[in-house]
Chain A
Amino acid sequence: MTANVLEINGLKKHFGEKNVLQGVDLIVPEKKVFGFVGRNGAGKTTTMKIILGLLAADEGTVNVCGKKVHYGNTKTNRFIGYLPDVPEYYSFMTPAEYLRLCGEISGMDEGEIKSRSDKMLELVGLSQEKRRIKGFSRGMKQRLGIAQALLGRPKLLICDEPTSALDPMGRKEILDVLVAAKKETTIIFSTHILSDVEHICDEMALLEGGKVVMQGTIEEVKQRRRSAATELRLEHETDTKALMKAFAELKKLPSGDILLDDPAKLPEIMRYIADNRMDIVKIEKQEATLEDIFLEVIQNNSK
Chain B
Amino acid sequence: MKAFLRKEWMENLRTGRLLILGIIFFIFGLMNPAIAKLTPWLMENMKDSITDTGIEFGEVTISAMTSWTQFYKNTPMCVIVIVLMLGGIFVNEYQKGTLVQVVTKGLSRRKIFFSKMVNVYGLWTLMYLVYFGVTYGYTVYFWPEDKVESILFGAFCYWLFGMILLAFLLLFSAIADNVGQVLLGVGAVVAAMFFLNYVPKLQKYLLLRLTEGLNLSLGSLDAEDFVPAVIISCISVVICSIMGMALFDKRDL
- How long is the Cα–Cα vector from A43 to B102 in the complex, in angstroms? 23
CB neighbors of B among A29-52 (8 A): 52
Find the A residue at minimum CB distance from B15: A92
**Is A101 within 8 A of B100, CB to CB?**
no
Contact with A along B1-37 (1 / 0, CB 8 A): 0111011001100110000000000000000000000
A90-B7 contact in complex given A54-B103, A80-B104, A84-B101, C-beta closer than 8 Å:
yes
Query: CB of B201 within 8 A of chain A?
Result: no
Task: Indicate if the CB atoms of A105 and B107 lie closer than 8 Å.
Answer: yes
A104 to B108, CA, bound (A): 13
A152 to B104: give the CA distance in the assembly, Å: 12
Q: Hey, which chain B residues are within 8 Å of A88, CB to CB? A: 96-98, 101
User: Within the complex, which residue of A80, A87, A92, A148 is in contact with B14, where a contact is CB–CB below 8 Å?
Assistant: A92
> CB distance B3 to A148 under 8 Å?
no
The answer to whether A72 and B250 have CB atoms under 8 Å apart is yes
A255 CB-CB contact with B under 8 Å: no
C-alpha spacing A92/B249, complex, angstroms: 26
Given contacts A80-B104, A84-B101, A105-B105, contact A54 B253 (CB under 8 A): yes
Could you say which residues of chain A place their CB within 8 Å of the CB of B253?
Answer: 54
Assembly CA distance A87 to B252 (angstroms): 17
> Is A194's beta carbon under 8 Å from chain B?
no
The reply to whether the CB of A102 lies closer than 8 angstroms to some CB of chain B is: yes
Contact B100 A105 (CB under 8 A): no
B109 CB-CB contact with A under 8 Å: yes
B104 close to A52 (CB less than 8 A): yes
B105 contact from A72, A93, A102, Cβ within 8 A? A102
Chain A minimum-CB-distance residue to B97: A88
Total cross-chain contacts (CB, 8 A): 70
For residue B109, which residues in chain A have a CB less than 8 angstroms away from its CB? 72-73
Give the nearest-CB partner of B13 in chain A: A92
B200: which A residues are within 8 A, CB to CB? none
Task: Check A89–B3 contact: CB distance below 8 A.
Answer: no
- A214 beta carbon closer than 8 Å to chain B: no
Residue of B nearest to A93 (CB): B10
Q: How many residues of B contact A (CB 8 A)?
A: 27
Return A189 CB to nearest CB of chain B, in Å: 17
Check if A106 sits within 8 Å of B106, measured CB to CB: yes
| Measured CA separation A82–B96 after assembly (Å) | 16
Q: Write the nearest CB–CB distance from A60 to chain B, whole angstroms.
A: 18
A163 to B135, CA, bound (A): 57
Name A105's contact: one of B15, B106, B249, B250 (CB within 8 Å). Answer: B106
A230–B7 Cα distance when bound, in Å, is 61
Q: How far is the CA of A268 from the CA of B107 in the complex (A)?
A: 66
Q: Mark A280-297, 1 if CB is under 8 A from B, else 0.
A: 000000000000000000
Q: How far is the CA of A55 from the CA of B15 in the complex (A)?
A: 31
Over the window 89-103 of chain A, the binary record of Cβ atoms lying under 8 Å from chain B Cβ atoms (1 yes, 0 no) is: 110110001001110
A82, B15: Cα distance in complex, Å: 27
| Residue on B nearest A152 in the bound complex, by CB | B105
Q: Are A77 and B100 within 8 A (Cβ)?
A: no
B108 in contact with A73 (CB, 8 Å): yes
| Distance between Cα atoms of A152 and B110 in the complex (Å) | 22
Selected A-B contacts with CB under 8 Å, 23 pairs: A54-B100, A54-B103, A72-B250, A73-B108, A73-B109, A73-B249, A75-B106, A77-B104, A78-B106, A80-B104, A87-B97, A90-B11, A90-B98, A92-B14, A92-B15, A101-B4, A101-B6, A102-B101, A104-B3, A105-B4, A106-B105, A107-B106, A152-B105
| Pairs of residues from A and B, 9 with the lowest C-beta to C-beta distance, nearest first | A104-B3, A92-B14, A88-B96, A82-B104, A105-B105, A105-B107, A88-B97, A73-B108, A106-B105
Q: Give chain B's interface residues, CB within 8 Å of chain A.
A: 2-4, 6-7, 10-11, 14-15, 96-98, 100-110, 249-250, 252-253
